[in-house]
Amino acid sequence: MILGVAGGIAAYKACELLRLLTESGHDVRVVPTAAALRFVGAPTFAALSGHPVHDDVWADVHEVPHVRLGRRADLVVVAPATADILAKAAHGLADDLLTNTLLTVTGPVVFAPAMHTEMWENAATAANVATLRARGHVVIEPAVGRLTGADTGKGRLPSPAEIFAVVKRVLARGAAAPDLAGRHVVVTAGGTREPLDPVRYLGNRSSGKQGYAFARAAVARGARVTLIAANTSLDDPAGAAIVRVETTAELREATLKAAADADVVVMAAAPADFRPASYAPQKIKKADDGLAPVIELALNPDIAAEIGAGKRPGQLLVAFAAETNDAVENGRGKLFRKRADLIVVNEVGAGKAFGTAENAATVLGADGSTAELPLQDKESLADAVLDLVVERL
């Protein structure tokens, strides 16, 4: 594997990404630009990778390094990818070892951009990114946050751990093309909370892990991803635009807005079916008579059913059914009530689905199909479901 490092202030984060790659068993060659070496010295990259580090084509010239590295690499990840390196890659310029290697690589390429917001939003950068994506490369959307100096905005390098997660998904797919490139995928995740009083709420045990896994998998397949997160404590997936919500009403509003131009909507969140009929502005106290208060509940809207009823031609809806009994039978009923194209049915409860690293599911299709997905990590299960989605797009 090759880790390309371009000359941005975020180059120091490449050291953490390198550590994650090598500790997971990958043999990594670091190929920095000359500008990158002004931020992080070659000895640091050499020590962490176990390989010598060069930035030009004149070192070890008898081995023709720019050709050898590209041919042997099973993946190239460029992090950070500056506006300059994106432009050179898009236009086939080759004035150093990294840009030469990018012209000879035969495996997948992942770019993790980092730059100031104005540079990312510039028409030239947008055109270069579109060109690279059209060629089958994965260009991760940058994160929103603190940039250099006092500036804040879109352009921050995602966390190394989340870039690593995308790299793992791309590697798992091998030579497969990013088959969701040009598509907008909306994913909901987590569990909603319905306030009862200033300190209490009705909620559920959903951690958001499965929804986040869908977001990561969709990013690795080239999609533009909007992740609507309800009360999660997970790190933001690299490349996804994050919308945070708390209640089912907020989840509904955000999902309907994002779904307006979505190709795929994955409803992996666990919205509360009920909410308190009234909100107590002050904490509900214990009564002197020792009796518990009676809480009246009201029904929440069925967001998936609303999206299913208003689907555009060609738009796909993936619903979820978290069941404790008669899972497949109940899931089949929900499939048709919600007018979903696919429904992911899984059993939940103690040690099952919620909060775990693994999941198993039965995926039912509106076309009468059934796919059994055995217990596996949630990222792999998300990829398996997205395979079914791509077949229907």
Active-site residues, by number, are: 204
The rounded distance, in Å, linking the Cα atoms of 8 and 347 is: 47
C-alpha 259/C-alpha 187 separation (Å) is 10
By the 8 A CB rule, do 196 and 202 touch? yes
What CA–CA distance (Å, rounded) separates 5 from 11?
6
**Quick one: tokens of 3?**
């880790």
User: Could you tell me the two tokens for 340?
Assistant: 């979903």
- What's the length of the chain? 393
Q: How far apart are CA 92 and CA 257, in angstroms?
A: 38
The answer for residues whose C-beta is within 8 angstroms of residue 87's C-beta and 6 or more apart is 93, 124, 125, 128
The Cα–Cα gap between 119 and 246 comes to 33
Asked whether 95 and 88 are in contact (CB, 8 A), the reply is: yes
Chain-centroid distance, C-alpha 257: 19
Tokens found for residue 372: 């059994």
